[in-house]
Structure 1
Amino acid sequence: MNTQEAAELVKRALSEAAPGAELATLPPDADIRDVLELDSLDFLNYVQLLSDFSGCRVEEDDYPTVSTLAGGASFLATRCGAG
């Protein structure tokens, strides 16, 4: 999986976890929890969707990394590269 494919998976997971969120204007390095006002359950839902869509487990230690669009895409591209 390349970075572009990974970014699309991140956006897909976010659009399901936060329906109606305006992802087109979300800065790549912005903390999605703050910008999209995700509570802890919404964020966990996003992480689970990210795992389901990518087939790559996201551990709790990885949460800070996947909390931005750029970080999530980078995480998936490097950790799930063959995904």
Structure 2
Amino acid sequence: MKPDEIRRVVLEELSNIAPETDPAGIDPGADLREALDIDSMDFLNFITALHKRLGAAIPETDYPKLFTIDDAVDYLASKRGLGRPG
């Protein structure tokens, strides 16, 4: 899966967590919890959804690596052996 495909999945799952907002309009470097005004349970649901959709194991210690859209895409791409997009 390519980074742009991972980004699409991330945005889709954010839409499921916060349906009243448009994740595509969020600064990709902004903290998702603040930008979407989501609580820790919503963020955990987001992480769980990414795990289910992408099959990537995401340990709790790595949650801070998914606080922004860009960070989430980079992290998930690296978990899938893609590395940072060039």
Do the two structures share a fold, i.e. TM-score over 0.5? yes
Alignment RMSD (CA, Å): 1.3
Gaps of 5+ in 2: none
Aligned to 1:33: 33
- Name the counterpart of 1:19: 19
Cα 1:81–1:21 change in 2 (3 A) is farther
Q: Please name the residue that 1:71 is paired with.
A: 71
Number of aligned residue pairs: give it. Answer: 82
Q: What is the TM-score normalised by the length of structure 2?
A: 0.87
Matched with 2:42 is: 42
* Percent of residue pairs bearing the same amino acid type: 35
Task: Identify unmatched segments of 5+ residues in structure 1.
Answer: none
1:44-81 deviation digits (Å, cap 9, x = unpaired): 00000011110111111111111110011111111023
Structure 1 range deviating more: 73-82 or 57-66: 73-82
